[in-house]
Structure 1
Amino acid sequence: MTVDALPTLYIFLDEGGNFDFSSSGSKFFTLTCVSLYRPFRLHTALDTYKYDLIEHRIKPRIAMEHFHCANDNRHVRAKVFGMLAQEVPPNSVDAVIVEKRKTGPSLQVPEKFYPKMLGYLLRFAIEKAQRGLGEVVVITDSLPVASKRNAIEKAIKITLADMLPDRTPYRIMHHASRAHYGLQIADYFNWAVFRRWEHQDPAAFQSVAPQIRSAFEIFRNGKRDYY
């Protein structure tokens, strides 16, 4: 990037919950994004900690390939949340929380529901970013519901083109989370958001509260339950 070049905003995405709109599915669906600019200083600290874990594991044959909040033990989880609280800039994280039973029937299909919620989230995150962005690069692990991936990706592009401000140039990229610390960071933040709403456990959320700019309950004022 040259001295005069406008900065690129990187947005890393993760989601929690499922697309089962019934009493047997998750109560909530969450989408969380982490907005960061280069240089990504936390990546070096996470890489160092990963190799510390490899070198000090009781069972050395078990490799520490990547961080995944739901699978990491409580000691690793506490350490990583501490690093996030210290190193991720304040007001870098936004989340949309959906109480699924308040979602109208016409929206209860992934190729409509996911792009709409993602559009709301990204529009807010980009509007809050500094002016003069050169480009927005959205990176996600993989789109949910593989069988409908093409339909969802097409709908995302249409939705974002309509919702993003000032014709902001953007790209959507899919990287393996185990190979990208940005996605692992998003996974940790989304776990904290999902844990707070789905399980009424606010501890992790509170530990990184300064980093969380918004956690918007999209149907909070909805009066009707559809199941």
Structure 2
Amino acid sequence: MAEIYMYADETGDLDMEGSQGASRYFGFGTAVFEGDHGHLLWEGLQLRCRLERRGVSLPQGLHAKNDSHATRGEVFDLIAKQAPRFDTTFLAKENAYERVRVAGQMRLYKLAWYLHFKEVVKRVSSPGDTIYVIAASLTTNKKEGTARNALTDVCQQMATDREIVLCVWNAATSWGVQVADYGLWAVQRVLEDRKCSWYETAVEPTLEVVP
């Protein structure tokens, strides 16, 4: 029986009304590490410290959308070396079913997580394994409790023959969550036909396509 560590992050907003500035997609991405990977987490901490030493302030950790081009390059270089398994699921919000729209934004959140997690958990683990799911907490306090409930419910549905331990943490505390964020950012860039020079070298080699 194995221990699997799945780090998860989301992208896009939950607006399904097509408001100005709203994202086209909402989705989840995960980075999976199997077994003891403490040395990889240490490498992530070392990189963050080296960046701080050179004057790059990272009080909230690394975040692909906000980091500089130079910082992204160093992060993606380390990700390519570590080679976690990436999986992503994107939902085109304009195609949302009417029942999802009526149910509201957190229904979309839960649906995206369900469609992603139910596929990935079967591909990365076997009956009897323990899967630690370390998910980034939502930055909107109003929705954080509801989001945690949605994550918990889906994990419990999948825990029939596996032990699933859900950890909802601030992304700044976890190198693995920051890796998931970077992988998700790169895939979204490609999905939206925008340039991402690191996709082919750091993400695509270990990216699995999820419906």
What TM-score, normalized by structure 2, do the two folds share? 0.85
Structure 1 counterpart of 2:92: 99
Structure 2 counterpart of 1:28: 25
Task: Determine if the alignment matches structure 1 residue 13 to structure 2 residue 8.
Answer: yes
Structure 2 counterpart of 1:221: none
Structure 2 counterpart of 1:177: 171
Q: 1:49 to 1:156 in 2, by over 3 A?
A: closer
- Asked if the contact 1:123–1:165 (Cα under 8 Å) also holds between the matched residues in 2, the reply is no
Unaligned runs of 5+ in 2: none
Question: Mean Cα displacement is larger for which, 102-111 or 11-20?
Answer: 102-111
Structure 1 counterpart of 2:194: 200
Aligned length: 204
Partner of residue 85 from structure 1, selected from 80, 83, 90? 80
Q: Distance in 1 between matches of 2:96 and 2:139?
A: 18
Which secondary structure does the structure 1 equivalent of 2:199 belong to?
A: helix
- Asked if the contact 1:11–1:33 (Cα under 8 Å) also holds between the matched residues in 2, the reply is yes
Which secondary structure does the structure 1 equivalent of 2:198 belong to?
A: helix
Larger radius of gyration: 1
Q: Distance in 1 between matches of 2:148 and 2:173?
A: 22
Q: CA deviation at 1:174?
A: 1.5
Which secondary structure does the structure 2 equivalent of 1:203 belong to?
A: coil
Q: CA deviation at 1:77?
A: 0.3
- Asked if the contact 2:7–2:134 (Cα under 8 Å) also holds between the matched residues in 1, the reply is yes
Q: 1:152 to 1:45 in 2, by over 3 A?
A: closer
> CA RMSD, aligned part only?
2.2
Q: Distance in 1 between matches of 2:150 and 2:10?
A: 17
- Asked if the contact 2:133–2:164 (Cα under 8 Å) also holds between the matched residues in 1, the reply is yes
Deviation per residue, 1:92-141 (Å, 9 max, x gap): 11110111101112213222111121112111111112425432221112
Deviation per residue, 1:44-71 (Å, 9 max, x gap): 22222222222233xxxx6333211112
- Asked if the contact 1:110–1:152 (Cα under 8 Å) also holds between the matched residues in 2, the reply is no
Q: Distance in 2 between matches of 1:201 and 1:102?
A: 25
What TM-score, normalized by structure 1, do the two folds share? 0.79
- Asked if the contact 1:141–1:176 (Cα under 8 Å) also holds between the matched residues in 2, the reply is yes
Q: 1:83 to 1:113 in 2, by over 3 A?
A: same
Structure 1 counterpart of 2:109: 114
Question: Mean Cα displacement is larger for which, 79-88 or 47-56?
Answer: 47-56
- Asked if the contact 1:14–1:32 (Cα under 8 Å) also holds between the matched residues in 2, the reply is yes
